[in-house]
Structure 1
């Protein structure tokens, strides 16, 4: 009878750890979708406007601005990392007692959060200038002319900032999971 009670006491803790691992797996999938969609959305942003005639056109492309290129690269790197981290996440579902791999995930998740934050923040500054401009420096708002370009760049930021929130949740969940195991 005592063996059954001990077994019953260990199962709820293992069940909670497994539940946290399953949530971790699904949050990683959500983050993959968000970062990949952001990279694709920004990377395919392109708009042309006629100037005087049909033959002379002004173009706005994401790679005209190095900040947007950095944003696409950062989101792509984070997406690739998230795909690779799914293997560790699956191993946490199978073996709920893996401590070292959880520490490795916290370290890399934090690094990817920093990369994602820097890319999204830099792109957000440029998107703000595109919408509002800065008359003191003669940077004019271009969103009145390039509506589609501005909508797509703004939309791609939403996915990236959403992925940042998911990363914060992943890091907190991993830290709580580690602190529960003494």
Structure 2
């Protein structure tokens, strides 16, 4: 009788050990299959935010380009020989500003399909790397244009007594308001490019 009980207990223990060992690989497989899905979802979320940010930067760059490119004011009083007029193309800095923001707007339009590719295929590193390189270039480009135009706007508002530069915004108030708004919009676009670079770096680090 004793030998029969010991044999039954041994058989039960072996069955329990086999059942425990058989469950472990199933749990491990569930964990490993869930990990790529989580990474893909986070990458797709970053790509969607990248697309929204590109559209926002595009709107800001277009506003800066159109506002500065259409800025023109003529004072109501003039003489037979002199007409007091202020236009953006009177200053090379403002001309460069318009060209730089127009280029930034064109680039942002062309970059939207690549951003959509990153949404559809979040693990595609080639498109993300290409966007990162051009975004870095446009950060420097738009920042230089906005900073140089901001210096001219500051002189227009305050002048410089050391160089006998007069403040013209007391007379050309509409002109100064328009160019100031264009500079603000350009800085918003430049900040948008900075965040686009950061998003691309985050997406590439999670690859």
TM-score scaled by length of structure 1: 0.94
Q: How many Å apart are 1:11 and its aligned residue? A: 1.0
Aligned twin of 1:139: 165
Aligned twin of 2:177: 151
Distance of 2:80 and 2:56 partners within structure 1: 43
Contact 2:61 / 2:105 at 8 angstroms: preserved in 1?
yes
4+ runs of 1 displaced by more than 6 Å? Answer: none
1:40 and 2:66 are equivalent in the alignment: yes
1:65 and 2:96 are equivalent in the alignment: no
Contact 2:117 / 2:127 at 8 angstroms: preserved in 1?
no
SS in 1 for 2:170: coil
Q: With CA pairs under 8 Å and 6+ residues apart, which has the higher RCO, 1 or 2?
A: 1
Aligned twin of 2:45: 19
**C-alpha deviations, 1:64-95, integer Å up to 9, x for none?**
11100000000000000000000110000000
Contact 1:50 / 1:56 at 8 angstroms: preserved in 2?
no
1:177 and 2:189 are equivalent in the alignment: no
Q: How many Å apart are 1:179 and its aligned residue? A: 1.1
SS in 2 for 1:135: coil
**Bigger CA radius of gyration:** 2
Contact 2:53 / 2:192 at 8 angstroms: preserved in 1?
yes
Structure 2: where are the runs of 5+ without partners? 1-25
Q: How many Å apart are 1:168 and its aligned residue? A: 0.8
Structure 1: where are the runs of 5+ without partners? none
Distance of 1:104 and 1:89 partners within structure 2: 10
Q: How many Å apart are 1:54 and its aligned residue? A: 8.7
